[in-house]
Copies of this chain bind each other. A is one copy, B any other.
């Protein structure tokens, strides 16, 4: 198991997602980055939605080469999206990728969803490992969604990031409205909207009379009036680009808490 196929001078680009190796969005993203470098795909064997930044510690990981052609290697891994990034960077590859792209996710990952999203988990993991990283999501859950506009937009953003770079500890969360390029009004750099999911568990009873619950719910927007957030941009048919940081420290609170004299 090696990555000899990728031994040339072009930039090395790592592609992953959380919908799994078979997802249409992944194949589309591979097409976006193919002209830009040597591409290595390490994607989950099965869908890993909601897996966030989880890692697999209780069971062993496996990976398998699924496809090989010049400048393109595709593997699947039985772990989470973050496991995929770790396996690629720490086990498979001999050099650090120049770029990590995750997606294109089938479904939105704006606002608070960054916390639950495997797409963004993988993106943040790339960023922690000091790789310029971008997560892409399309606002359609359909498995056969139309990625035509998404591909054009992702290509534009990827090329810009490869040209400009990203600072250490910063990655991008890109969400794309579902529609044609003509319908999309432009690209907005935004902040993460504040909100949360109000869960409405769907309570059922199994044949033995025991209750069980399906997680369901709706998004509560805590700042619906704000005009500079990703939720606003998407609602108004703009692509949202939110720069995310891996330093979670609330720096402005440090002095206040120091005054508590703990």
Contacts and interface: CB of A to CB of B under 8 A. Distances in A.
Interface stretch (A3-11, A121-129, A142-150, A177-185): A121-129
A199 interface: yes
**Chain A interface size, under 10 / 10 to 19 / 20 to 34 / 35 or more:** 35 or more
Given A124-B115, A170-B253, A249-B243, A189 B258 contact: yes
B56 A215 contact: yes
A114 B248 contact: yes
Interface in A42-68: 47, 49-58, 60-63
A164 to B, nearest CB: 6
Contacts of A63: 213
28 contacts: A50-B58, A52-B52, A52-B53, A53-B116, A54-B54, A54-B116, A57-B215, A61-B212, A62-B211, A82-B116, A83-B215, A87-B201, A90-B200, A90-B217, A91-B199, A91-B213, A115-B124, A156-B262, A160-B260, A167-B253, A170-B250, A189-B254, A189-B257, A191-B251, A194-B246, A241-B257, A242-B248, A248-B248
A248 B50 contact: no
Nearest to A55: B50
A112 B246 contact: yes
Contact of A61 (B49, B128, B201): B201
Interface centre among A47, A128, A191, A248 (most CB of B within 10 A): A248
The count of identical subunits is: 2
A69 interface: no
A262 B241 contact: yes
B192 A248 contact: yes
A interface, over-half SS: mixed
A56 B251 CA distance: 32
A164 B114 CA distance: 29
A194 B54 CA distance: 19
